Amino acid sequence: MNFEHTEERRMLADSLNRFIAEQYTFEARDRIAATPEGMSTTFWQQFAELGVLGALVREEDGGFGGAGFDIAVVFEALGRGLVIEPILGSAVLAAQAIAHAGNAAQRAHLEGIVDGSVIAAFAHDEPGSHYEMTRVTTTAVRSGDGWIVNGAKSVVAQGEAADLFVISARTGGAVDEEAGISLFLVPRGAAGLTVTGSATIDGGRVAELAFDGLTLGADALLGQAGQGYATLERAFGCGVLALCAESLGAMEAAKAATLDYLRTRKQFGMVIGSFQALQHRMADLLLEVEQARSSVINAAAALDGDRLNREKALSAAKMSIGRIGTLVAEECIQLHGGIGMTWELPLAHYAKRLVMIDHQLGDEDHHLQRYITLSREAA
């Protein structure tokens, strides 16, 4: 199988990497993270104009990409720049769900997502949940032709900025069953919806959503009632790949900064990179990063394959990324010494992001268990 990127993907990667290096600098990103909004609408529109959002959506859905390697190319570049705009939640999670299950009227939202005029967010995690995709306690009960929703969602990335939410709610079945999960589109400002934002340790923002008698029309239901799990799994699979590629980009940036530091920092009249013990640690780290890259390539190649192979490859990649990302964060800070912990040095922010990625859409332990379960299904 040929894993070389197409000319279009290489051009997109070059343009995006150059834009981030020249415009979305660490200083600019730090200023954005300190604002109450936690994102820049100016940069958001520029990402849309560069084609970043469109590259994450398939051509039949209004974009011009959407394949596994398109997602990987974009998010590796975003990871290098520690980009905090809501690209994952809007153009991947929410867009994939709408594209997978939406009717013609609902899929019309994809045009706004691609051109940046609509920011969407995906709300599935709940207070007290622990990565379980099937655990949904928020309820949606039929009321006439519509629905009444009650419950809460937690840690919704950039939820304050969202114009549109894709939410999961239970319309049947037990709390942890696949059957009975439904997805709904909820507009910003809907009566009965409360959004409360807070900052995260890695510079982003998240929101808690509360539904208190939220009334939705029949047109809010995304797909068929009680049949939302397959859509949920598809959207989360794309999200897992995006996070793995983002982590890889952050690892590469942290690795490059550490190599530069080892080549310039002097002790006892010698650059510390000449010390054999540090060389060995760095060599081990380089091998681990290449292993992470292989897992991302494998996951990207499997994204459009059959379900079991796809989900196994995604869980294997997330499991590897979780372990290796944490290792890179720890080793790079230790090789820098005390300066590695300072707020002014970008490395500390890369380390925080690497650790946080492990906890998004399932951590290392969760995906190890999921891989074992999927392997038993395949046996």
- Return the HEC string of 195-230: EEEEECCCCCEEEEEEEEEEEECHHHEECCCCECHH
**What is the arithmetic mean of pLDDT over 334-348?**
86
pLDDT at 7: 85
Domain 7-118 sits in CATH 3.40.1260.10: no
Phi–psi pair at 207, nearest 5 degrees: -135, 150
Tens of pLDDT, residues 118-173: 999 999 999 988 899 999 999 999 999 999 999 999 999 999 999 999 999 999 99
pLDDT digits (tens, 9 = 90+) for 169-194: 999 999 999 999 999 999 999 999 99
pLDDT above 60 for 1: no
230-378 — its CATH code?
1.20.140.10
Please give the pLDDT value at position 79.
Answer: 97
pLDDT of residue 3: 62
Kindly list the distances between the CA atom of residue 189 and the CA atoms of 10, 35, 163, in Å, as whole numbers in the listed order.
Answer: 40, 22, 8
Q: What is the mean pLDDT of residues 319-342?
A: 92
CA dihedral 89, 91, 96, 102 (to 10 degrees): 100
Query: Once rounded to an integer, what is the mean pLDDT over residues 210-235?
Result: 96
Q: What is the mean pLDDT of the chain?
A: 94
> Average pLDDT of 311-315?
97
User: At 271, is the pLDDT very low, low, confident or very high (cuts 50, 70, 90)?
Assistant: confident
The percentage of the chain sitting over the pLDDT mark of 90, rounded to a whole number, equals 86
Residue bearing tokens 């040095």? 345
- Alpha carbon distance 37, 213 (integer Å): 27
Indicate if the pLDDT at residue 110 is higher than 80.
yes
State residue 341's pLDDT score.
81
Strand segments (E) across the chain: 120-123, 139-143, 146-157, 164-170, 181-187, 193-199, 205-216, 221-222, 266-267, 270-271
- Reference 264, options 204, 216, 326, 335; nearest CA is 335
For 121-225, CATH number?
A: 2.40.110.10
Mean pLDDT of 15-36: 94
Burial pattern 169-199, b for ≥16 Cβ within 10 A else e, equals bbbeeeeeeeebbbbbbbebeeeebebebee
pLDDT at 323: 97
| pLDDT average, residue stretch 287-291 | 96
**pLDDT given at position 52:** 96
Q: What is the mean pLDDT of residues 335-351?
A: 88
Domain boundaries, the chain: 7-118, 121-225, 230-378
